[in-house]
Each structure stands twice: as C-alpha cells, then as structure tokens.
C-alpha cells in the first residue's frame, strides 16, 4: 500500500476531526476510495471510537436522477437524519469515476434534490466537525490533464501526505494563517480589483476563519461571510465553475445592495440562472475566501483544490458558514474563483493588502 494513503488517513483522523474515544464517526465515499476508507476505518477503531461507513458505487447518482420521481427527489430519509444527528463527526471522500456523469441531468431535478437535503447539510455544518478530502482517480487526473501517478503526487503533496510528519506541517500552516486572520478580523471594508472586476463588501462584526485542514483537506485559505446586503460592484471569474457535473465558464456577476442583479456566462448560462433561482439566498454571497496554499499552483477543475490556490479569491453564492457570523441561508453553496496573480489588488479599509496575489506588509 502507498504509505501516503496511511498518512492521509492519519491526518484526517488525528488532525482534521481529532477523533476521540467512544465517538461515532461517519465515513462516506465510493468503492474507488477503498484503500483510504480502510485506513480511516482502522484508525478510528484504534482510537476507541465507532466508525460508520456509507459506501456508494461509482455513478450511482446518475441512476438515481434518471429514474427518481418527484417524490423521491424531494424525499429526505429519516434514517439519514437520525444518522447525522447522532454522529459526532464525519469524513467525506470525493472519489469519482466520471466527474461529468451528471452533466445532462435536468437542472430542476438537481434543484429539488438540493432543497430536500438542506436540513441534513445544516446538521452536519452546525456540528462543526467534518472533513472533506479527495482520493485520486483516473477521472480527476484527466480533468487535471495529468497521468494518475502525476495526480497522486499532486494530491499527496498538497495534503502534506508526502511528508514524514504531515500534522506538524499543517500546524505550521495554521500558525502562519492565524496572523492573516487576526489582521482581517479588524477589517471593515474589503475592496477587490482585477480584470473586469471591481467589487467591495463589508465584513464588520464578521469572523474570518483559519481554514488550516480541519474541514477541507487540503486546505490553506482564510474565509468569512460578508454582510449580506453590502456587496456592491461587478466581478468576472477567471476559471470555469463546476457544479454537480456542469461546467459553467466565464461567469460575470453584478451586485447591488448584496444581491445579484445580473448574471451571465459564456457556457451553460441557463444552468447558472437555474441555480440562482433555487431560493432567495442563492442570490447573495455566503462566503469570501482568500487562497493561501502556494503549493497548489495549477487549476485542476476541482474546487477543493482550486479555491486554495495562493493569490486567488473565491466567492460562494448561497449558504454561509455559521461560525463566520454569516446569516445567509440557502440550499446552494457554489464557489467561484477569481485569479489575482496578474493585475489584481485587494484593499482593506482603503489600504493595500495584496497585490498580484502577494500580501503586503502583513503584521
């Protein structure tokens, strides 16, 4: 077995969610991730906790959307709710055999499914002990335009699973990012300027979170939930945004008093509009994140990695994370990335904070 798989399991169990004795931990992933799932399962047992496995088959969700009726799309299992309510922590492993398997699913079916499962997601988020990671597969490697071996190296490097003591590496990241968080938690207005972009928002009274590997693995970002009605201006996102198998490119949004008043895209614009119609909260910003992982330099069409690219920011339409103080609630949480590494600037309360992706005079 690849030693890096064992290290990633150790990171997730001992660092990301810090499993304790007699806790119930829910582990989800497809059969393609079985090497990692087995290592996680073993380590949870070794910690004296109780693992519960939710194993799926590759492309099973496509079958569901093909054959599920309206009632089935909107059905929220009481068993799923009970499991979420009675789990102390959860680990979710992305492990797809085809990242485009849902491309031709009708958007209205995905909307109905998302709305039905929002209470389940809310329970998991409110517990605040969850971790999301990825197990390398051929599908992800193809999206990244790499061989599987190259992609494995990329993933394990980004997570520090290629290091002898990966947890100490994440603790260093945490310490360095805390300086950024402490500074930003005194901020009032954030102003972002870049190509076809001039947008600002208030963060008064909101908390910036040090995303240091306790939720996403890999991580390396700081984020908050801006004041809901404060976002003003326009932004053009640099990379395609994928959501449930759809790829939407060249997204442009215009905001007024916090709300999206105009949205366009060069590809799959209709899908963009359908997602913005999920509920009222989908039209407002739920998260502003600043990427700070300089080990991730390549866009690979996977938001778990892409939103952490050092020198980028991302805005998520829809649901806020409660720990930020954000109040926006929605069945949608959709991250979109703006690259600021060329001709990009961030100002905090009118003073330069970042230029061309690099921080200026951090304390």
326: Cβ contacts below 8 Å, ≥ 6 apart: 206, 224, 225, 226, 228, 286, 287, 320
- Same domain (yes/no): 172, 158: no
Residues 25-51 have a mean pLDDT of 97
| Residue where one domain finishes, among candidates 164, 191, 215 | 164
Residue keyed to tokens 């230029």: 355
Mean pLDDT rounded to a whole number for the chain: 94
For strands 130-134 and 89-94, give the pairing.
Answer: parallel
Tokens of 306: 């892409």
Q: Are residues 355 and 259 in the same domain?
A: yes
> Are both 47 and 176 inside the same structural domain?
no
Contacts of 224 (CB under 8 A, 6+ apart): 184, 203, 206, 207, 208, 209, 287, 288, 324, 325, 326
Residue 361 has pLDDT above 80, yes or no: no
Residue 173 clears pLDDT 60, i.e. is over it? yes
User: What mean pLDDT do residues 221-239 have?
Assistant: 97
Average pLDDT over residues 144-165: 96
Q: Tell me the whole-structure pTM to 2 decimals.
A: 0.88
d(CA 236, CA 193): 10
Q: Which domain holds residue 171?
A: 167-359
pLDDT of residue 340: 96
Give the per-residue pLDDT at 124: 86
Classify burial at 345, counting beta carbons within 10 Å of its beta carbon; exposed 0-12, middle 13-18, buried 19 or more.
Answer: middle
Domain boundary (164, 198, 223) is at 164
132 and 176 both lie in a single domain: no
| Overall residue count recorded for the chain in this entry | 363
| Percent of the chain whose predicted confidence (pLDDT) is above 70 | 99
Determine the pLDDT at residue 362: 64
- Region 137-148: mean pLDDT is 96
Looking at the fold, whether 302 and 217 belong to one and the same domain comes out as: yes
Pull the structure tokens for residue 143: 């999206």
CA dist., res. 65 & res. 46, Å (int): 38
Same domain, yes or no: 50 and 186? no
User: Does the pLDDT value for residue 1 go beyond 90?
Assistant: no
- For the chain, the three-class secondary structure string (H helix, E strand, C coil) is CCHHHHHHHHHHHHHHCCCCCCCEEEEEEEHHHHHHHHHHHHHHHHCCCEEEEEEECCCHHHHHHHHCCHHHHCCCCHHHHHHHHCCCEEEEEECCCCCCCCCCCCHHHHHHHHHHHHHHHHHHHHHCCEEEEECCCHHHHHHCCCCHHHHHHHHHHHCCCCCCCHHHHHHHHHHHHHHHHHHHCCCCEEEEEECCEEEEEECCCCCCEEECCCCECCCCEEEECCCCCCCEEEEECCCCEEECCEEEECCEEEEECCEEEEEECCECHHHHHHHHCCCHHHHEEEEEEEECECCCCCCCCCHHHHCCECCEEEEEEECCCHHHCCCCCCCCEEEEEEECCCCCEEEECCEEEEECCEECCCC
**Tens digits of per-residue pLDDT, 272-282?**
999 999 999 99
pLDDT tens digit string along 342-356? 999 999 999 999 999
Asked whether residue 122 falls in the same domain as residue 194, the answer is no
Q: What was the pLDDT predicted at 190?
A: 98
From the list 316, 332, 231, the residue with the least C-alpha distance to 280 is 332
Bin 21: left if φ > 0, else alpha if -120 < ψ < 50, else beta. Answer: beta
Whether residues 149 and 272 share a domain: the answer is no
Q: Examine the pLDDT at 318 and tell me if it is beyond 80.
A: yes
* pLDDT score recorded for residue 149: 97
Q: Distance (Å, rounded) from C-alpha 285 to C-alpha 281?
A: 8
142 pLDDT higher than 70:
yes
Tens digits of residue pLDDT in 44-99:
999 999 999 999 998 899 999 999 999 999 999 999 999 999 999 999 999 999 98
Q: pLDDT digit string (tens) for 180-229?
A: 999 999 999 999 999 999 999 999 999 999 999 999 999 999 999 999 99
Percent of the chain at pLDDT exceeding 90:
86
Residue with the larger pLDDT of the pair 107 and 76 = 76
Report the 10 Å Cβ neighbour count for 353. Answer: 21
Q: Are 293 and 219 in contact (CB under 8 A)?
A: yes
Say if residue 175 is in the same domain as residue 66. Answer: no
**What is the domain-level CATH number for residue 67?**
3.40.1830.10
Domain end marker among 124, 148, 164:
164
Measuring CA to CA, how many Å separate 25 from each of 77, 186, 265? 19, 36, 40
Tally of domains in the chain: 2
Average pLDDT over residues 111-137: 90
Res. 244 pLDDT band, cuts 50 70 90: confident
- Categorize the per-residue pLDDT at 363 as very low, low, confident or very high, splitting at 50, 70 and 90: low
Q: Lowest mean pLDDT: which of 19-33, 113-127, 278-292?
A: 113-127
- Looking at residue 293, its pLDDT comes to 93
Same domain for 109 and 201, yes or no, is no
């Amino acid at each position: 077995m690849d030693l890096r798989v064992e290290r990633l399991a150790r990171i997730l169990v001992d660092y990301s969610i810090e499993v304790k004795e007699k806790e119930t931990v829910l582990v989800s992933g497809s059969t393609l991730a079985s090497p990692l799932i087995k290592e996680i399962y073993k380590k949870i047992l070794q910690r004296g906790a109780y693992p519960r496995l939710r194993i799926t088959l590759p492309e099973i969700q496509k079958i569901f959307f093909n054959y599920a009726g309206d009632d089935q799309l909107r059905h929220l299992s009481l068993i799923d709710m009970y499991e979420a309510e009675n789990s102390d922590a959860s680990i979710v492993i992305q492990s797809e055999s085809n990242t485009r398997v849902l491309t031709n699913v009708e958007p209205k079916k995905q909307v109905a499914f998302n709305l039905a499962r929002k209470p389940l997601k809310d329970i998991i988020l409110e517990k605040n002990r969850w971790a999301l990671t990825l197990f390398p597969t051929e599908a992800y490697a193809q999206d990244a335009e790499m061989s599987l071996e190259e992609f494995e190296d990329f993933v394990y490097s980004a997570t520090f699973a290629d290091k002898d003591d990966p947890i100490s590496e994440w603790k260093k990241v945490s310490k360095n990012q805390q300086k950024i968080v402490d500074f930003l938690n005194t901020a009032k207005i954030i102003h972002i300027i870049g190509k076809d972009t001039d947008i600002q928002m208030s963060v008064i009274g909101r908390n910036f979170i040090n995303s240091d590997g306790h939720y996403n693995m890999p991580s390396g970002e700081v984020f908050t939930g801006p004041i809901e009605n404060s976002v003003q201006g326009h932004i053009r996102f640099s990379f395609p945004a994928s959501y449930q198998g759809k790829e939407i490119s060249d997204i442009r949004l215009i905001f007024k008093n916090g709300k999206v008043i105009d949205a366009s895209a060069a590809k799959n614009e209709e899908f963009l509009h359908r997602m913005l119609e999920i509920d009222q909260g989908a039209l407002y910003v739920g998260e502003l994140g600043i990427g700070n992982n300089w080990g991730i330099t390549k866009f690979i069409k996977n938001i778990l990695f892409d939103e952490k690219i050092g020198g980028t920011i991302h805005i998520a339409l829809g649901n806020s994370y409660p720990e930020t103080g954000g109040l926006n609630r929605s069945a949608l949480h959709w991250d979109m990335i703006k690259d600021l590494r060329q001709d990009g600037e961030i100002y905090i309360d009118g003073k330069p904070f970042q230029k061309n992706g690099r921080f200026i005079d951090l304390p």
